[in-house]
Every structure is written in structure tokens, then in C-alpha cells.
Amino acid sequence: MLERRIYLDNAAATRLDERVLEAMEPYFFDTYAVATSEFAYTQGIEAREALDEARGKLTGFLHADPAEFIFTSGSTESSNMVLKGVALALGKKKGKHIIVSKIEDFPVLHSARALESQGFKITYLDVDGEGFVDLDQLRDSISDETILVSIQHANQEIGTIQDIASIGNICHERGVLFHTDATHTFTRVPLDVKKIPVDLITVSAHTIHGPKGIGGLYIRKGTEIAKWMDGGFQEFDLRAGLENVPGAVGFAKAAELVTPAENKRLQAMRDRAIDRILAEIPDTTLNGHRRKRIPHNVNISFHFVEGESITLHLDMHGFAVSTGSACFSRSLQGSHVIYGIGGDHERAHGSIRITLGRYNTMEEVDAVVQTLAEVVQELRKISPLGKKNREEED
Amino acid sequence: MKFPYSETVLEHFRHPRNVGKIDNPDGKSMEGSPACGDMVAVYIKVDPKTNKISDIKFESYGCASNIATGSIITELAKGKTLDEAKKITWKQASDALGGLPKIKAHCSVLAIEGLRSAIVNYEERHGLVKVKTPTTVEVIRKRLKKVMNPISGLDLVRTNLVKDIELKDGSVRVVIDLPAKHQFAPAIKEEVMEKIEPLWDVKEVLIEFTE
């Protein structure tokens, strides 16, 4: 077996930072009491304080009030709560129309589909070749029946950062709630709720070297959203369930550990990977915008070869990456994001996503580019596609 | 936990046998399409005296199971007569590879199709085939046996997913016994279309789901 394992799939999950674990530990072994037992015993008060402190730190990144943020089990739950909670609160009162983009991640997309089967009307906005939603189409799609617009801050696969300020303005001019899924941007791309008209923001710890199973939802004061998870009165009576205090503490610590310098370093690695691959490997296409993309995302299609074969070969060389190929997906369908930006089957099947994190180095970037070049060349030799192009070059 | 692929599959994936093109082949084929995610091209040379496959090569655009199956069928078919080679089944190829994951059956079955089509291509070119047969419900059913059900790794017909087939004036209607919202519904639909549409006398194909 290989000794060296280089993990380059940080958009899917990240290695926990030791300092996060260290911050969490006391809340497993000492202060494990229920945070809502503050009126009963001291440990409860300590747990409550830890939870509030974590909430305060996290809302600080968004320039929001701590009373506008609830903890959830992660971004899937947050997005489910937004779509279904707003539908419950406003579906009867205001209307049954919701607008999302075609390239949203599955929690938003599949929640929208679930609502569609319950009689809601969903508009799936088109995106252009780089993944940006069409603002005119958004403007034209909003009607008096529209209760929510949900458009991600940045895309999970191709990293394109949407112009959420303009999107938010369009929504607010028409009095429509705006949700953005910031799973892949929180602490990596600034988002200030004082400046950007956004009502709901989904965030998660698993993408920033925090623990899995903890996320959050920013809910602007006055936003109409129904409680969806019933039970106790936790989280301002918006989300029932025992508070995950160690998770919350870990999330806050993880967010604090992300620095502008780190984001700059990730961006330098990203740029190096993109520039080298496009320059050194023929028949490649960058997916997403060259600059308006999150600092840690690289997504490139390698023509004439299939992504699962690339990922498997890379794994044999010790590299972990992801692909938008149908062979790799649970539904046997190619990436809806690549199709969304106008890509054909071949571009989807040959797409490789590299996402960088704190523990990656420039040497690793150079190593994966080198190995990719070799693997793609070998696979092209056995592919029946694209031979003509290459023979002409030879 | 090991890879969902057997050691033999991984070995053939890493070092595929008989890869490439044959110049001036006696028979050739290309199966699959980028839509289903995989393609296989098969080239054969046939010794006209013995009717045996004297040389065989393949090319693959696909995942590990596609490449490995392409590789193993070239080994299985080399030196066999055309009639023997035609009878090689997906099961034989899968067994020779130490088994394939169920969900990957649809990618690997292409190589078997490729081999058979290359032989048919040889027969057509050498005047060994009869006239075009018109499409019947049975012909369609036979074709659907080549579409794999990713849930079980067996074909749609065997797993009773084909609820109904109607054929009228070149228009084909296939009812699949799955909810339209099922995880694999879009993938199955696409593959069924690809299998039925190329039939020479079929004008349109309608796929319906039960819920």
C-alpha cells in the first residue's frame, strides 16, 4: 500500500484541526450538561455560556446579531428548514412559488422538488457558461405569489461565486425572502448581512476543518419561517433537539482559525493548479469562472476520458479527488452543474474537482498536476474518442 | 473495507490487455455513447479458413469496470471461432474478473455487446447475414435484456421492471415499473432510449414510469 495519501476533496469533508478538538473536549467530559438546564445546576449554566459564546463568535463573521442564528446538524438540515419552513409559514398566506437556480446543491434542489410534489410551483433559473444566474430572468420570474428565492453563494462543484448583493436587492425590491447556501464560502469569502440584503444563510463546519454534524442558519430578524423540527423549545423555539454544545464550540473555533492569510495561500495553490493544468495538458476546459471562484476550488474537464477512471488511477497514486462523472454518482447521472453551464455528457463525465484545504501544500499541487498529466495521457491512449485531433497534432 | 472492485478487475484496469486499434480490421464495432458514460470499440481479425478470431483489440472510454471487461473479453475471445465468441456472456466475463459490482453491470455489458457487434459487422461485410428483420415486441424485449437494472445488477426484463411494451406503426411505448422520482429512473430511461431508438423501423420511443 502507498504510504503517502494526499487528500484533495476538501469541499466534501475536511480533516479536523487539532485545536478544534482541543476546544471541544471539555464539553464531552466536563461540561456535558444540557444547555437549557441553566436554572437547575451550574454545569447547565456553563454549557449555556459556551453555546452563547460560540453563537456570538459565528454571527460575528456575518456581522449579525447572535439572536439571528440557530445551530443545526449541518447545511442539509439548514437548507431543508429554509425551504420547508418558509413554505409552511407563507404557502397559505402569500403564495406557492419558489425560485432556485438549476445548479443548487441537492439539499436545496431536492427540497424544492419535494415541495413541487406538494403543489408548490418552482422556477429553476438558468445559469450562463460560467455558472452565473441570469439576473433578468430572476427579475422576470418573481411574481406576487413568490415567497422565496434560494440561490447559493458559491457553487459546490465549480466554485463560481454569485453576485448575491444584486440578487438580494432584486428580491428585496419585490418584498421576497432571499436565502443563500454559503456552505462553501463561510469564512472563505466575506458575507456581511449589514451590506448584503440576505434573509437566510446556510453554513456548516465540515468544510472548514470543523466537526461533522454541526451547522447553522442565519435568520434575519422578522423573517417568517415555521418551526420544522418539533420537540422542545431550544434555539429560540425554532429548532427542537438537545443542543450540540461540543459541536457548536468546535464550529466557532474552526471559523476563528480561518485567516485571510490562509485563504490567500489556498488561492495561490488554486491558481497554480489551474494555470499548470490548462497550459500543460491539452484538450482541457476550466469549469466555472477563472477569478470569481472560491479560493480553494479547481474544476477541469479532461476531454476523451472518463472521470472515474481518472480518480481511481489518482487514488492508486495516493491522491483523493472527485469527479462529475455519471459512473461516480449514486444516480448514474452526470453532474447537473456541468449540464447546467451548458456542458455535454463528455464534459461532465471527464470533469475532475480538486478542492484544497489547510493541510495541502504547493508541492502536493505540483505532484497532482504531474500525475494527472500522466494518467490522462495513458487513458487517452486507450480511448476511442478524440484520436483524430491528436493524430493531427502529431 | 476494500475497493468495490476485485483484485483482478483492478489488475486489468491498471494493465489492460490488447488495447488499441487494428488497421484494416475484418470486423469492428463501437458500442455505447458518452451519454451513458461509457464507450467500447472492438476490432477483430478473422482467419477465413478456420473462422477463428486471430487477433482482437479494444479501446475504451469508460470507468474501471468498462476497461477491465474490455480487456478480459479480448482474452476470452482470442483464438475462438466466431460462433464460440458470440456465446461469451457477461456472466462469463464477470466471473473471469472475480465479480463486478451490481451497479457497474451496465458499464461492463457494453464490452460483450461490442464483441458481438464486431462479429455481426464481420458477418455483414462478408455476406453471412440474412435480411433485416422487422421489429416486434419480442425484439424490443430482447434489447431490454441488455439494459441493466442498477439496483440488482441484472437486466430489466429479468428483474420484472418492464411492465408493458406496446408497438404500433413504428411507435414504441415502454412502461417501467419504477416511480419516476426513483434515484435511477433518469439513467434507466436514457439507456432504454439508446437501445430501442436505433432499430431501423422504429420512429419514436416513449418511456413511462408507473408512479
pLDDT per residue over B7-36, tens digit each? 999 999 999 999 999 999 999 998 887 766
- Range with lowest mean pLDDT among A142-156, B125-139, B166-180: B125-139
The mean-pLDDT minimum among A139-143, A359-363, B120-124, B197-201 falls in B197-201
Residue B1 lies in a domain: no
Task: Confirm whether B186 is domain-assigned.
Answer: yes
Q: Which tens digits make up the pLDDT trace of A199-216?
A: 999 999 999 999 999 999
pLDDT category of residue B2 using cuts at 50, 70 and 90: low
Cβ proximity of B149 and B188 under 8 Å = yes
Residue boundaries of the structural domains of chain A: 18-257, 260-393
What CA dihedral angle connects A286, A287, A291 and A295, to 10 degrees? -110
Q: Measured between CB atoms, does A326 come within 8 Å of chain B?
A: yes
Q: Which of A83, A59, A69 has the alpha carbon at shortest distance from A218?
A: A69
CA distance A87 to A168: 19
List b or e across A58-79, with b for residues whose CB sees 16 or more CB atoms inside 10 angstroms.
bbebbebeeebbbbbbbbbbbb
- Domain of residue B54, CATH code: 3.90.1010.10
**Rg of chain B, C-alpha, whole Å:** 18
Question: Which among A74, A119, A101 has a CA at the least distance from the CA of A211?
Answer: A74
Residues B141 and B117 in one domain: no
pLDDT in tens, B54-77: 999 999 998 898 999 999 999 999
pLDDT confidence of residue A158: 98
For chain B, the domain total comes to 2
Is A260-393 in CATH node 3.90.1150.10? Answer: yes
Q: Under CATH, which number does the domain A18-257 receive?
A: 3.40.640.10
Answer yes or no: are the C-beta atoms of B40 and B31 closer than 8 Å: yes
User: Cβ distance A126 to A134 under 8 Å?
Assistant: yes
Domain boundary among B125, B160, B177: B125
Return the pLDDT at B36: 66
Which residues in chain A show pLDDT less than 70?
A: 1-3, 327-332, 388-394
Residues B67 and B145 in one domain: no
| Average pLDDT score, chain B | 88
For residue range B140-165, list pLDDT tens digits in order: 998 888 887 777 777 888 888 999 99
Is the Cβ of B11 closer than 8 Å to some Cβ of chain A? no
ipTM score of complex: 0.82
- Please enumerate in sequence order all residues whose Cβ is within 8 A of that of B7, keeping only pairs 6 or more positions apart, or say none: B98
Does residue B107 lie in a domain region? yes
CA distance A122 to A117: 10
Measure CB to CB from residue B150 to each of A113, A332, A349 and give the nearest one: A332
**Of B43, B115, B108, residue with least CA distance to B83:** B115
Examine residue B131 and state whether it is found in any structural domain, yes or no: no
Domain boundary pick from B125, B147, B164? B125
Contacts of A387 in chain B (CB under 8 A): 21
Among chain A residues, CA nearest to B19 = A382
Instruction: Say if B161 falls within a structural domain.
Output: yes
Pairing of strands B27-33, B38-47: antiparallel
Residue B1 has pLDDT above 60, yes or no: no
Q: Is residue B170 part of a domain?
A: yes
- Per-residue pLDDT reduced to its tens digit, A185-199: 999 999 999 999 999
CB-nearest to B62 from A309, A316, A387 is: A309
> Is B175's pLDDT higher than 90?
yes
Phi, psi of B150 (to 5 degrees): -65, -15
Confirm or reject contact between B150 and chain A (CB < 8 A). yes
Q: B55 and B91: one domain?
A: yes
Kindly state whether residues B89 and B178 are assigned to the same domain. Answer: no
Do residues B78 and B181 share a domain?
Answer: no
- Which of B125, B153, B177 is the C-terminal boundary of a domain? B125
- Structural domain span for residue B19: 7-125
* Whether residue B181 sits in one domain with residue B77: no
Residue B132 has pLDDT above 80, yes or no: no
Residues B16 and B98 in one domain: yes
